[in-house]
Amino acid sequence: MSYTGPHSEPFGPTDPYGSPQPRRSPLRRTLTVALAALVPGALLGWLVYEALGGSGNGGTGAAGVGAGAPTGAVGSPSDGAPDDKAGTLSATASASSSPGQDTATPLKGRVVVIDPGHNVTNSEHTAEINRKVDIGTNLKECDTTGTSTNSGYSEAKFTLDVAHRLRTLLQEQGATVKLTQDGDRPFGPCVDERARIGNAAHADAVVSIHADGSAEGNRGFHVILPGLVHEGAADTRSIVAPSKELGKLIADDFAHSTGSSPSNYIGDGTGLDTRKDLGGLNLSTVPKVFIECGNMRDTKDAALLTSGAWRQKAAQGISEGIAGFLRQ
């Protein structure tokens, strides 16, 4: 830039080649200053005119500003006004993405073992299932044949059917599900082996499915919880509390899903019963419960137990109880 100071040459600044240039006349300088003052004023006037809708586009003042302003001038980040459309898209994107949450498979990474009580062909292997095994507190039969309805629908068929339905429901939520038997062995397994299967799987929860064989008029379901046992091979001290929580949740959800009432002959109306004589519980090192879904020998309960639609509700109730326990 050039600068004219008190000691400058009389002809003012030089050209690019060093030749002195004559000074401008005072009149020319006056005209230049006047024009410099008039042009911004005229431009400002035109902008005000446009802002007031003078362009003839029929818009209001606000609309005129939006229409006549350069792209990005209104609502741009530089003036602090948010872009409504961009804001809506950002909010939508934020709402649709939830990092760290997997609502489709909430039980992913969890292991559940389902223990379908008895075995359809146990009755063909009486010598094997009558063999005694150690359950910690004493010796007990390897397994039993289970009960049946008066019309011959067996407990073993019932438990396996509910187990299959339950497995599907839990797998849909992402759980890894294992069965202690799937009608794929001639008998059993024995009660001690059933416990070991859950332990070896490091299961987060184990549920043994059964149906009772009590007298006519005895109705309803109940969940069997492990008692406190520390004797021989049995030590339930670490599983009593979590098993009780699992059992309560299953009882509540089973009642809600099936519409069935807690047992009227076991558990004093709570739907819960604690026992120390079951090897499947005594030998478990992971949270485990039994559920007696109803009384097969009662006509009204049998009508429910033999219904596929009701068995689906039973599986749904058990699955909800397990899921609630695992989500804690």
Whether 320 sits among the annotated catalytic residues: the reply is: no
Nearest-angstrom CA–CA distance, 248 and 243: 9
| Best CA proximity match to 166, nearest among 312, 325, 323 | 312
Among 128, 155, 245, 292, the active-site one is 292
Q: What is the CA radius of gyration of the chain?
A: 42
Length of the chain: 328
| Best CA proximity match to 232, nearest among 137, 93, 92 | 137
Nearest-angstrom CA–CA distance, 118 and 144: 6
How far apart are the two ends of the chain, measured CA to CA in Å? Answer: 75
| Best CA proximity match to 271, nearest among 281, 259, 280, 261 | 261
User: Per 3-state DSSP, what percentage of the chain is helix, strand, and coil (rounded to 5)?
Assistant: 40, 15, 45
Give the per-residue SS3 of 161-209. HHHHHHHHHHHHCCCEEEECCCCCCCCCCCHHHHHHHHHHCCCCEEEEE
Sign of the CA dihedral with 195 first, then 201, 205, and 208 last: negative
Instruction: Please give the sequence-ordered ranges of beta strands (E in DSSP) within 262-324, or none if there are none.
Output: 272-275, 288-295
| Residues with catalytic function | 292
